């Protein structure tokens, strides 16, 4: 226990230099001043730069779905996702996942899983959300987990497993989370699960 | 609403009461009175004052209340009166009841609320009676697997032990149930029963939260028992006696001990808070951690009795504080030497000293009780290790400091026999 | 006046002592032991030693009984319920008990204690402040010795009850 | 006369009895007027936050604080010992305070070490 | 003749008459007193099933202060409580727990269904995980509509409950 | 009127019970109980003689004796805890068989 | 420096080691919730060794009502009432970002006055939430006055919101295209009066709660979440700000008129329970200034709701919009397939993200720290379950 | 020392409140004052008029039985059902009017927004608790009654705290 007690103090001292965090706070203000969320700019340069950087590394395995101001969405293959996520985390500064959402597309027979990645460390990325998506088959939905890259997806992935039936390979606990223990129906967020009377 | 046949009106209630009284009267007249007479004629009765108590005297006292005064006086001299009424159980229970009411109102006031308001029309004074009636009419659940004997015995033991503590407290000059030479130590000895009862009761409930609560109660009480005892030791050093009446007397001869021993009073106050499981030391009942602590499995009257016991205990410890540090019943005389009442002359049973003493004693006790209620409004709960740390490291040291202060006072010739400040 | 009271207290004490040893549940045994201690305290009161009586209650019920009950709860396993005692042994024990009782009783009756200061009749009671005086004057070395014993006891008890194995690991971790 | 002090103490017993007298009828009355429905076994399960109880109810020990109980036994004895001194203080010569100072010194040393032991984490 | 007067049957009749009289004499005042006590001392269980608990908290706050009616908040254990206010949605995961809590409470116990969800399911009438009202699991005494009900409405519901207790038998 | 000898008889009864317990019981805690009972019987004798003689020495000794008994209980229970932790058992016979 | 995983593993090992060491009965499994005064709608299973928690497993879902599924069956506007139910005491914020997302999808321009009113309602509502949160924090620590005062003072703001929107807590006020009704007359004065009174009260909160030494003892240095761990766990809102990261959506990605408002992001560096409980309080103080500015700068008249057809629909597409709610970033991911009903709505809520930190922080703490740690995470179970 | 000072400050702050006015609003005797008569909607301008959203009121002389309110509510709580009334209005050929189940209604007011004929508004009435579910279903006739609501209490702030005057 005493080890635990000491432990928090160390990061504290290492944080001490972060009075430097003050100037960035004003810097944020400046950046936000320069990019008010005006809509009509085509493919804003900063976001484009980001995408270019990823593309440079992974080339054709990246499919860019859209580039909007502050929002970028890229689609990758399931097999590449861990590598790309690691790259995003280590080199691009997207250090946490804000949400993991799954969408069922019965027409395509696929389920799309979308990770919204954000950044706490890079000031200029604070307003950005990068949507990293991948698609898997509806019938044997199976994806590699990102839990080793982003700790923050742990519960989100559990929820996605439960709500859409996407099994995350390597996730320590693919089990019941929000639904009752005796839930015996198909995962509720699939499109073929109909709710009463609708 | 029409489907509920029974009517509920105050008039009906009064009607039914009258009916009940009527029946009681008839039964008493037909059965009771002859019986009483037979008994009274054949049983020799004790002399009261200068007369022999005869049934006639007994009956005439209804017509001439004056003649009942000697009877009452004799009764007041008996142990029974002391045990049942004045410094004993009824007085303590009454103070406990008033404490509960005051606590709720006081807390409500501090929290910008009004507290109980409607029960009993005027500011909710009957709230406590309502609670009591409800608790009496509540089912008592004994959890399966519980130790039945202990489960039922513990609340009774709790109340009785609290009452036994009260027995040692003198409430006015001469008014004490048990005037023993080692009174103070006896209080501590009896207080030592409470952790045992809490522990056994929590064990008997066979449930997790009560058990944790009981262990916490145990740890808490024993952590504060030593500072508790030591803080009273400095008073004993100053007064040289263990008899509680003697302690008050020695304060009457000099000054209140709180002026000499403020630290000790502080330690005593803190540890009595802990002993009483009041916030900030209500760890054994910490709701947000362990549901209701060792009271989790209590229901109905068992809960009621435990509450009663703990409030009686509150009275006992507040009174002890008054006796040890605030000079007991000392206070300026407010009652006249003689009292004249219109119909009945009660001067034979009127005792100026006792009336004055009990008045001041009660006032001071309520003052201390208010002081004990105050932390509940302003303080969060404390944590187990901080609590143990406070009890074992800080308070014991403080108590010892005061023992040496008391020693210096004695050997410095300021207090003690023939001291400077002794009147 | 003390006679019926004496008998009541004696029955309470001895009975509780027997229950303490024979109760099926150890926890009841512990409670009975506490009751037995209370009985002894009652005897002390009858013997006009209120200070010792109160001391007895405070120490035995307030502290020792608590510790015992806590430990009983701590070690409660099925082990407590398997009373591994054979009949023969028990019989021998009872016999031994009776023999002790009888022989000591005979010794007592023969010793003539009865006559010498038999009834305490009108001998004065002892003020308990004398205890303090004695303790600090004549028995002062005993008091110091007492302190040493208590200090040794608490340190020994703590040293016994702690878990050494974990401690070593922790010291390495530090 | 023997047994005088016992007579002094008797009112405590009366008071205890009165406590019984006040609480036992309350329980009996409560038993009489309260409704009782016993058909449901769930009611008598130990309460566990609306959960089916699992495990044993009496299996929790705060071993971390066991040291304090051990210490309590000894220091309780010590603190009551001091009362014997406190009451006799007026009757004894001043020099007789020395043994008690010695006694306290020993106990303080023991308490210091014991508190140090008790305060250490991880060994309990 | 003498024998008939004191025969066992007549004696029994007499005794039963007397006890009848006694019961009658005691019943009404006792019933009144106990019901009165129950009215002014309703202690609610701390069971938050969903968002209506926010307004329940507000009702026990200083502005509405249900303690005026003798309703105390923050009671730890359900063993001491008489009133269970179902504070909103009961999901399928919560339902068995709700029933268990209800079962474990000691006997005179009352249920207030607070909020549209607790009455009929409310907004979540077509959700896959929500029960359509709690009256299927526990017997409800008073329905307090709203989403969430104003604290006033809750207090009004409590007053209705008091009305109901007044008119009920004590056993 | 109770006399010295009555107290001594009670004391002897307690000693006998204690010895019986020590001999028969195999449960460490119960043996501790027995020891306590014997110690109490001794205290009783001390105080009884002190009352008979009248002087305060017996009472003083009883105080010491009680204190030491308390200390002994603390140590004894510490021992039992250790034994329990090692053997998961508080039966003395089991300790013996498990040694080694 | 031990990282988060190491810490967790270490504590787990500690628990397991105690269990293995022939003393498994030292461990006791306790279920905290759902009927537990210290948990509310939530349950977590803890294992305690004496006073120390060695294992913790959250078990949410007691209020899981399937909001996301239900959204797929309702029109964009009909979704408003039930989307605000997860946090009824912060309902203006939870509908705010939904409105923003729908507006982005449909392409609606919100009138300026409506933007101000929205921001005003959102600030008021955040304070309502924080006061409620503070009240529960008080009662969790056994401080009943601290339950009563914020609950009472919260009523002042509720009173304002009731005047503004017509309901005490479930306002259903933000709607795609603006707000549902204009401010009533005399609102500004009333608002200023009550907010000023509240500012006076904050000092008393500090006296009785934040500066109270017992409170400090219980929270300072307890359950420290370091900056690295906070980033790794992706916690948000006051939790991440308490760990030394001044991240506030209002500043980082200003929506509506927030870039015209002058305010500071409040943060602390210690990352313990105290910081986590103090940052929302600082936020609340700052929010009072924001409200004054908003009332000042607000256009005196104008439209409050853009004209749009009853069932607005836009082209297929998706939007992800965030606002800063009482519990941190609150994002809506809305996918539209061109019909009036959204194809998929995902609510990314602060509570759900903060819950992840619970087992990491609880393990190794004492039992008395449990309520303090749990509620300092700014966690509202109903919202997390959705 | 600072900690002792803080204790004293806390005690002072706490005991100061013993003389501050109480905030409690005594509900059954007092009633709160609301802005206006309740939430209303102006379909022409497309915005609502601020007011409390309590129980609905239905103006029989305006309702055309167009069911728009029921359709609006269908996606919310399905609280509105259209029932036959035995009244005859020119503008209401089918003689159907909304009936509201307050056991389901969540008082969102979207049905008011949906009614294009100024027929359905909300009132200040909130005292709706009942013993049975059936009592919560309000027929059109019941909905037509204008509730008598007299509230006159408001929050008053003065030097000694906030009260309800
Ligand atoms: S009635 Fe409304 S406020 Fe209450 S639980 Fe249901 S949705 Fe929540
Ligand atoms: S207020 Fe809302 S829930 Fe109620 S009837 Fe109207 S639309 Fe339906
Ligand atoms: S109330 Fe309005 S919307 Fe509803 S049916 Fe009548 S006219 Fe149509």
- pLDDT tens-digit series, residues D81-124: 888 888 877 777 777 778 788 888 888 888 888 888 777 666 66
Nearest CA to ligand 3 atom 2: H115
Identify whether residues C108 and C132 lie together within a single domain: no
Residue G74 CA, ligand 1 centroid: distance in Å = 18
pLDDT at position G311: 74
Map chain G to HEC letters.
CCCHHHHHHHHHHHHHHHHHCCCHHHEEEEEECCCCCCCCCCCEEEEEECCEEEEEEECCCCCCCCHHHHHCCCCCCCHHHHHCHHHHHHHHHHHHHHHHHHHHHHCCCCCHHHHHHHHHHHHHHHHHHHHHHHHHHHHHCCCHHHHHHHHHHHHHHHHHHHHHHCCCCCCCCEECCEECECCCCCHHHHHHHHHHHHHHHHHHHHHHHHCCHHHHHHHCCCCCCCHHHHHHHCCCCHHHHHCCCCCCHHHHCCCCCHHHCCCCCCCCCCCCHHHHHHHHHHHHHHHHHHHHHHHHHCCCCCCCECCCCCCCCCCCEEEEEEEEECCEEEEEEEEECCCCCEEEEEEECHHHHHHCHHHHHHCCCECCHHHHHHHHCCCCHHHHHC
Which residue from B209, B299, B208 is spatially nearest to E109, judged by alpha carbons?
A: B299
For chains E and G, having 3+ Cβ pairs within 8 Å is answered yes
Which residue from B79, B78, B74, B81 is spatially nearest to B52, judged by alpha carbons?
A: B74
Whether residue C50 has pLDDT greater than 50: yes
Sketch out chain F's domains with CATH numbers. Answer: 2-94 (1.10.287.3510)
H117 lines ligand 3 (CB under 6 A): yes
In chain E, residues with a C-beta closer than 8 Å to the C-beta of A180 are 91-93, 129
- Whole-Å CA distances, C69 to B197, B200, F29: 11, 8, 10
Whether residue G17 has pLDDT greater than 50: no
In chain E, residues with a C-beta closer than 8 Å to the C-beta of D42 are 100, 103-104
Half-sphere exposure for G3 (CA within 13 Å, toward CB): 6
Contact A85, A144 (CB under 8 A): no
Residue H111 CA, ligand 3 centroid: distance in Å = 8
Label the pairing between strands H120-122 and H56-58: antiparallel
Mutate to test the pocket of ligand 3, among H98, H110, H138 (most ligand atoms within 8 A of CB): H98
Look at the alpha carbons of B223, B227, B230, B236 in this order and tell me if their dihedral is positive or negative: negative
- Number of domains forming the structure of chain G: 1
Q: Check residues F36 and C4 and name the one with the higher pLDDT.
A: F36
Instruction: Assign B311 to helix, strand or coil.
Output: helix
pLDDT at position A36: 40
| Chain E contact present for A195, CB below 8 A | yes
Identify whether residues C65 and C146 lie together within a single domain: no
Residues A57-71: what's their mean pLDDT? 76
| Chain D contact present for B240, CB below 8 A | yes
* Of residues A180, A182, A198, nearest to E126 (C-beta): A198
pLDDT at position C20: 83
CATH number at residue G208: 1.10.645.10
Place of tokens 């049957």: E9
Nearest CA to ligand 1 atom 6: E117
Band (pLDDT 50/70/90 cuts) for residue G232 is confident
CATH number at residue H136: 3.30.70.3270
Closest approach of B334 to chain D, Cα-based (Å):
31
Band (pLDDT 50/70/90 cuts) for residue F2 is low
The β-bridge partners of B194 are none
- How far, rounded to the nearest angstrom, does the alpha carbon of residue C24 sit from its chain's CA centroid? 20
CATH number at residue C26: 1.20.120.1200
What lies within 8 Å, CB to CB, of G210 at 6+ separation is G277, G278, G281
Residue H120 CA, ligand 3 centroid: distance in Å = 7
Residues G122-145: what's their mean pLDDT? 86
For the complex shown, is ipTM > 0.95?
no
In chain E, residues with a C-beta closer than 8 Å to the C-beta of B121 are none
Map chain F to HEC letters.
CCCHHHHHHHHHHHHHHHHHHHHHCCEHHHHHHHHHHHHHHHHHHHHHHHHHCCCCHHHHHHHHHHHHHHHHHHHHHHHHHHHHHHHCCCEHHHHHHHCC
Residues 12-51 of G with CB under 8 A from F: 22-23
What lies within 8 Å, CB to CB, of G46 at 6+ separation is G29, G30, G32, G53, G55, G56, G57, G362, G370
| Chain C contact present for F87, CB below 8 A | no
pLDDT at position B419: 66
Q: Verify whether the Cβ–Cβ distance C162 to D124 is below 8 Å.
A: yes
Q: Verify whether the Cβ–Cβ distance G152 to B112 is below 8 Å.
A: yes
pLDDT at position E86: 85
The answer to whether residue A197 is domain-embedded is no
For chains H and C, having 3+ Cβ pairs within 8 Å is answered no
Identify whether residues C23 and C95 lie together within a single domain: yes
Q: What is the mean pLDDT of chain G?
A: 81
Q: What is the mean pLDDT of chain H?
A: 81
Instruction: Find which of A14-23, G5-14, H102-111, H154-163 is predicted with most confidence, using mean pLDDT.
Output: H102-111
Among A8-12, C83-87, G21-25, where is mean pLDDT lowest?
A8-12
The answer to whether residue H114 is domain-embedded is yes
pLDDT at position E24: 67
Counting one residue from chain A and one from chain G, the pairs whose CB atoms sit within 8 A come to 149
| Chain H contact present for E54, CB below 8 A | no
- pLDDT tens-digit series, residues G249-284: 888 888 878 888 888 888 888 888 888 888 888 888
Contact B227, B382 (CB under 8 A): no
CA distance E47 to G271: 31
Structure tokens that stand for D72 in this block: 């309590």
> What is the full per-residue pLDDT of chain B (423 aa) written as tens digits?
333 345 566 777 777 778 778 878 888 888 887 887 777 677 666 666 566 666 666 666 666 666 667 667 777 777 777 777 777 778 888 888 888 888 888 888 888 888 788 877 777 788 888 888 888 888 888 887 777 888 888 888 888 888 888 888 888 777 777 778 788 888 888 888 888 888 888 888 888 888 888 888 888 888 888 888 888 888 888 887 888 888 888 888 777 888 888 888 888 888 888 888 887 888 888 777 777 778 888 888 888 888 888 888 888 888 888 888 888 787 777 777 776 766 666 666 677 777 788 888 888 888 888 888 888 888 888 888 788 888 888 888 888 888 888 888 887 777 766 666 666
In chain D, residues with a C-beta closer than 8 Å to the C-beta of A2 are 121-122
CA distance G88 to F5: 81
Half-sphere exposure for A186 (CA within 13 Å, toward CB): 11
Among B120-134, C19-33, C103-117, E147-161, where is mean pLDDT lowest?
C103-117
The answer to whether residue C169 is domain-embedded is yes
Identify whether residues C15 and C75 lie together within a single domain: yes
Domain interval for residue H88: 37-146
Residues 22-81 of F with CB under 8 A from C: 23-27, 29-30, 32-34, 36-37, 40, 43-44, 47-48, 50-57, 59-60, 62-64, 66-75, 77-81
pLDDT at position G8: 57
- Whole-Å CA distances, C145 to A164, B198, D101, D102, G23: 76, 35, 13, 10, 38
Task: Name which CATH class applies to E41-167.
Answer: alpha beta
CA distance B75 to B82: 9
Identify whether residues C107 and C135 lie together within a single domain: no
Q: Check residues G122 and G20 and name the one with the higher pLDDT.
A: G122
Instruction: Assign D54 to helix, strand or coil.
Output: coil
Instruction: Assign A67 to helix, strand or coil.
Output: strand
- Encode D54-74: b = buried (16+ Cβ within 10 Å), e = exposed: eebbbbbbbbbbbbbbbbbbb
Whether residue E126 has pLDDT greater than 70: yes
Counting one residue from chain C and one from chain D, the pairs whose CB atoms sit within 8 A come to 161
- pLDDT tens-digit series, residues G194-228: 888 888 888 888 888 888 888 888 888 888 888 88
- Whole-Å CA distances, G54 to E110, G59, G354, G361: 39, 16, 20, 11
Q: Verify whether the Cβ–Cβ distance D87 to B88 is below 8 Å.
A: no
Structure tokens that stand for G70 in this block: 């239900």
E151 lines ligand 1 (CB under 6 A): no
Q: Which of D67, D70, D91, D114 to mutate to test the interface with F (most CBs of F within 10 A)?
A: D70
End-to-end CA distance of chain D: 53
Whether residue D6 has pLDDT greater than 50: yes
The answer to whether residue G25 is domain-embedded is no
The answer to whether residue A188 is domain-embedded is no
Q: What is the mean pLDDT of chain C?
A: 75
Which residue from A92, A144, A151 is spatially nearest to G3, judged by alpha carbons?
A: A151
The answer to whether residue H115 is domain-embedded is yes
Structure tokens that stand for H62 in this block: 């305006």
* Of residues A179, A197, A198, nearest to E129 (C-beta): A179
Band (pLDDT 50/70/90 cuts) for residue A16 is very low
Residue H59 CA, ligand 3 centroid: distance in Å = 9
Domain interval for residue G281: 67-385
In chain C, residues with a C-beta closer than 8 Å to the C-beta of F47 are 43-44, 47, 49, 52
Domain interval for residue D90: 62-119
Identify whether residues C161 and C95 lie together within a single domain: no
pLDDT at position D1: 45
* Of residues D2, D3, D77, nearest to F70 (C-beta): D77
Contact partners for chain G, using 3 or more CB pairs closer than 8 A, are: A, B, C, D, E, F, H
């Amino acid at each position: 226990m005493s080890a635990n007690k000491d432990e928090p103090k160390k990061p504290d001292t290492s944080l001490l230099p972060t009075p430097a965090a003050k100037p960035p706070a004003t810097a944020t203000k400046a950046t936000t001043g320069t990019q008010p969320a005006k809509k009509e700019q085509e493919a804003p340069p900063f976001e484009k730069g980001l995408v270019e950087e990823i593309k440079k590394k992974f080339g054709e395995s990246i499919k860019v779905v859209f580039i909007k101001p502050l929002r970028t969405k890229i689609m990758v293959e399931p097999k590449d996702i861990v590598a790309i996520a690691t790259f995003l985390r280590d080199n691009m500064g997207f250090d946490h996942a804000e949400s993991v959402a799954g969408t069922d597309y019965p027409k395509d027979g696929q389920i799309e899983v979308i990770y919204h990645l954000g950044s706490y460390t890079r000031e200029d990325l604070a307003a950005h959300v990068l949507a990293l998506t991948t698609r898997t088959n509806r019938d044997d939905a199976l994806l590699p987990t990102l839990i080793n890259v982003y700790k923050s997806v742990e519960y989100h992935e559990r929820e996605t497993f439960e709500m859409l039936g996407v099994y995350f390979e390597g996730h320590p606990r693919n089990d019941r989370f929000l639904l009752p223990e005796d839930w015996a129906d198909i995962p509720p967020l699939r499109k073929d699960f109909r709710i009463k009377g609708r | 609403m029409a489907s509920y046949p029974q009517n509920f009106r105050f008039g009906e209630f009064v009607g039914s009461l009258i009916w009940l009284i009527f029946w009681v009267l008839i039964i008493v007249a037909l059965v009771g009175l002859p019986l009483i007479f037979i008994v009274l004629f054949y049983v020799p009765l004790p002399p009261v004052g200068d007369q022999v108590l005869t049934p006639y005297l007994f009956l005439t006292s209804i017509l001439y209340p004056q003649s009942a005064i000697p009877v009452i006086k004799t009764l007041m001299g008996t142990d029974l009166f002391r045990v049942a009424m004045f410094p004993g159980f009824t007085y303590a229970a009454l103070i406990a009841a008033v404490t509960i009411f005051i606590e709720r109102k006081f807390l409500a006031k501090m929290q910008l609320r009004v507290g109980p308001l409607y029960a009993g029309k005027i500011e909710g004074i009957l709230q406590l009676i309502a609670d009591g009636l409800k608790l009496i009419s509540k089912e008592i659940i004994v959890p399966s697997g519980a130790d039945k004997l202990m489960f039922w015995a513990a609340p009774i033991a709790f109340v009785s032990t609290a009452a036994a503590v009260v027995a040692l407290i003198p409430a006015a000059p001469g008014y004490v149930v048990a005037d023993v030479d080692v009174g103070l130590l006896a209080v501590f000895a009896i207080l030592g029963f409470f952790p045992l009862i809490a522990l056994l009761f929590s064990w008997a409930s066979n449930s997790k939260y009560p058990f944790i609560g009981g262990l916490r109660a145990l740890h808490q009480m024993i952590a504060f028992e030593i500072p508790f005892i030591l803080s009273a030791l400095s008073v004993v050093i100053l007064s040289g006696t263990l008899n509680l009446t003697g302690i008050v007397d020695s304060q009457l001869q000099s000054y209140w001990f709180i002026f000499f021993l403020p630290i000790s009073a502080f330690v005593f106050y803190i540890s009595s808070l802990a002993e009483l499981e009041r916030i900030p030391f209500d760890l054994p009942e910490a709701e947000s951690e362990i549901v209701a602590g060792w009271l989790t499995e209590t229901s109905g009257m068992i809960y009621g009795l435990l509450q009663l016991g703990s409030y009686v205990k509150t009275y006992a410890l507040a009174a002890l504080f008054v006796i040890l540090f605030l000079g007991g019943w000392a206070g300026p005389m407010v009652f006249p030497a003689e009292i004249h009442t219109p119909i009945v002359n009660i001067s034979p049973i009127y005792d100026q000293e006792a009336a004055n003493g009990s008045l001041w004693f009660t006032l001071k006790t309520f003052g201390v009780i208010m002081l004990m209620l105050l932390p509940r409004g302003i303080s969060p709960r404390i944590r187990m290790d901080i609590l143990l740390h406070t009890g074992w490291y800080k308070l014991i040291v403080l108590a010892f400091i005061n023992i040496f202060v008391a020693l210096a006072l004695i050997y410095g010739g300021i207090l003690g026999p023939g001291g400077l400040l002794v009147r | 006046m003390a006679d019926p009271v004496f008998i009541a207290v004696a029955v309470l004490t001895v009975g509780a002592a027997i229950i303490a040893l024979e109760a099926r549940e150890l926890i009841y045994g512990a409670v009975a032991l506490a009751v037995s201690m209370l009985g002894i305290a009652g005897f002390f009161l009858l013997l006009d030693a209120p200070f010792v009586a109160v001391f007895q209650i405070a120490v035995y019920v307030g502290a020792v009984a608590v510790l015992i009950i806590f430990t009983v709860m701590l070690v409660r396993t099925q082990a407590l319920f398997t009373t591994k005692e054979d009949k023969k042994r028990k019989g021998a024990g009872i016999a031994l008990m009776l023999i002790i009782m009888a022989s000591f009783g005979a010794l007592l009756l023969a010793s003539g204690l009865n006559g010498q200061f038999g009834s305490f009749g009108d001998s004065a009671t002892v003020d308990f402040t004398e205890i303090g005086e004695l303790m600090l004057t004549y028995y002062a070395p005993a008091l110091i010795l007492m302190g040493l014993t208590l200090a040794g006891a608490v340190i020994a008890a703590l040293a016994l009850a702690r878990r050494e194995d974990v401690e070593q690991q922790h010291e390495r971790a530090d | 006369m023997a047994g005088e002090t016992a007579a002094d103490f008797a009112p405590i017993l009366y008071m205890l009895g009165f406590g019984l007298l006040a609480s036992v009828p309350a329980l009996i009355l409560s038993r009489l007027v309260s409704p009782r429905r016993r058909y449901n076994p769930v009611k008598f399960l130990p309460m566990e936050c609306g959960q089916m109880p699992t495990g044993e109810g009496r299996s929790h020990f705060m071993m971390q604080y066991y040291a304090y109980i051990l210490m309590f036994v000894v220091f309780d004895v010590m603190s009551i010992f001091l009362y014997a001194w406190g009451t006799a203080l007026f009757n004894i010569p001043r020099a007789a305070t020395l043994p008690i100072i010695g006694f306290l010194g020993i106990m303080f040393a023991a308490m210091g070490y014991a508190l140090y032991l008790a305060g250490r984490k991880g060994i309990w | 003749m003498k024998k008939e007067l004191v025969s066992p049957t007549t004696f029994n009749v007499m005794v039963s008459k007397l006890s009848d009289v006694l019961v009658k004499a005691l019943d009404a005042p006792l019933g009144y007193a106990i019901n009165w006590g129950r009215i002014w001392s309703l202690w609610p269980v701390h069971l938050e099933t969903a968002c209506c608990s926010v307004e329940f908290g507000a009702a026990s706050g200083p502005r509405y202060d249900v303690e005026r009616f003798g309703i105390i908040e923050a009671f730890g254990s359900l063993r001491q409580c008489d009133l269970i206010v179902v504070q909103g949605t009961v999901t399928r995961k919560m339902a068995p727990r709700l029933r268990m809590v209800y079962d474990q409470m000691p006997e005179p116990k009352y249920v207030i269904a607070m909020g549209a969800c607790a009455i009929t399911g409310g907004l979540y009438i077509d959700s896959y995980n929500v029960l359509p009202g709690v009256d299927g699991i526990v017997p409800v005494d008073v329905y307090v509509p709203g989403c969430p009900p104003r604290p006033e409405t809750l207090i009004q519901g409590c007053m209705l409950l008091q009305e109901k207790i007044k008119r009920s038998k004590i056993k | 009127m109770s006399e010295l000898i009555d107290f001594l008889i009670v004391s002897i009864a307690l000693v006998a019970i204690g010895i019986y317990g020590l001999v028969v019981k195999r449960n460490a805690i119960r043996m501790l109980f027995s020891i306590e009972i014997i110690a109490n019987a001794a205290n009783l004798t001390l105080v009884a003689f002190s009352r008979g003689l009248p002087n305060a020495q017996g009472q003083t000794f009883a105080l010491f004796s009680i204190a030491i008994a308390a200390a002994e209980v603390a140590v004894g229970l510490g021992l039992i805890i250790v034994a329990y932790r090692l053997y998961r058992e508080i039966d003395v016979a089991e300790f013996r068989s498990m040694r080694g | 420096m031990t990282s988060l995983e190491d810490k967790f593993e270490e504590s787990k090992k500690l628990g397991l080691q105690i269990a293995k060491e022939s003393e498994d009965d030292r461990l006791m499994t306790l279920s905290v919730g759902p009927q537990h005064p210290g948990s509310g709608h939530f349950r977590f299973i803890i294992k305690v060794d004496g006073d120390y928690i060695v294992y913790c497993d959250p078990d949410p879902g007691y209020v899981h009502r399937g909001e996301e599924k239900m959204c797929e069956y309702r029109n964009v506007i009909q979704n408003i009432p039930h989307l605000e139910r997860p946090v009824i005491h912060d309902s203006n914020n939870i509908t705010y970002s939904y409105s923003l997302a729908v507006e982005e999808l449909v392409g609606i321009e919100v009138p300026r006055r409506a933007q101000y009113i929205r921001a005003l309602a959102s600030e008021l509502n955040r304070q309502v939430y924080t006061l409620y949160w503070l009240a529960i924090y008080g009662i969790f620590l056994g401080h009943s006055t601290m339950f009563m005062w914020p609950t009472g003072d919260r009523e002042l703001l509720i009173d304002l919101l009731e005047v503004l929107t017509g309901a005490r807590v479930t306002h259903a006020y933000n709607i795609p295209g603006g707000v549902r009704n204009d401010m009533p007359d005399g609102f500004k004065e009333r608002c200023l009066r009550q907010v000023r009174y509240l500012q006076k009260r904050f000092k008393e909160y500090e006296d009785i709660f934040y500066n109270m030494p017992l409170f400090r003892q219980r929270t300072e240095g307890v359950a420290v979440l370091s900056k690295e761990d906070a980033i790794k766990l992706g916690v948000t809102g006051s939790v991440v700000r308490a760990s030394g990261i001044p991240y506030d959506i209002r500043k980082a990605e200003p929506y509506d008129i927030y870039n015209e408002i002058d305010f500071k992001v409040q943060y602390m560096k210690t990352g313990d329970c105290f910081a986590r409980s103090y940052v929302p309080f600082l936020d609340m103080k700052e929010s009072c200034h924001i409200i004054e500015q908003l009332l000042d700068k607000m256009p005196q008249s104008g439209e409050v709701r853009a004209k749009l057809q009853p069932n607005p629909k836009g082209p297929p597409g998706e939007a992800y919009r965030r606002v800063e709610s009482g519990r941190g970033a609150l994002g809506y991911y809305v996918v539209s397939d061109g019909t009036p009903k959204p194809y998929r709505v995902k609510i990314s809520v602060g509570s759900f993200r903060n819950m992840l930190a619970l087992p990491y922080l609880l393990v190794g703490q004492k039992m008395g720290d449990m309520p303090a740690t749990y509620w300092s995470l700014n966690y509202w179970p109903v919202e997390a379950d959705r | 020392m600072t900690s002792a000072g803080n204790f004293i400050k806390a005690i002072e702050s706490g005991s100061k409140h013993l003389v501050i006015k109480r905030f409690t609003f005594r509900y059954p005797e007092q009633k709160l004052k609301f802005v206006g008569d309740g939430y209303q909607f102006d379909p022409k301008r497309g915005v609502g008029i601020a007011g409390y959203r309590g129980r609905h009121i239905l103006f029989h002389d305006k309702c055309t039985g167009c069911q728009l309110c029921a359709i609006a509510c269908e996606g919310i709580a399905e609280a509105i059902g259209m029932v036959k009334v035995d009244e005859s209005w020119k503008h209401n050929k089918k003689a159907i009017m909304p009936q509201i189940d307050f056991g389901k209604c969540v008082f969102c007011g979207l049905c008011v927004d949906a009614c294009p004929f100024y027929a359905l508004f909300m009132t200040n009435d909130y005292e709706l608790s009942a013993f049975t579910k059936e009592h919560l279903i309000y027929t059109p006739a019941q909905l037509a009654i204008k509730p008598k609501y007299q509230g006159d209490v408001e929050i008053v702030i003065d030097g000694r705290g906030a009260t309800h005057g």
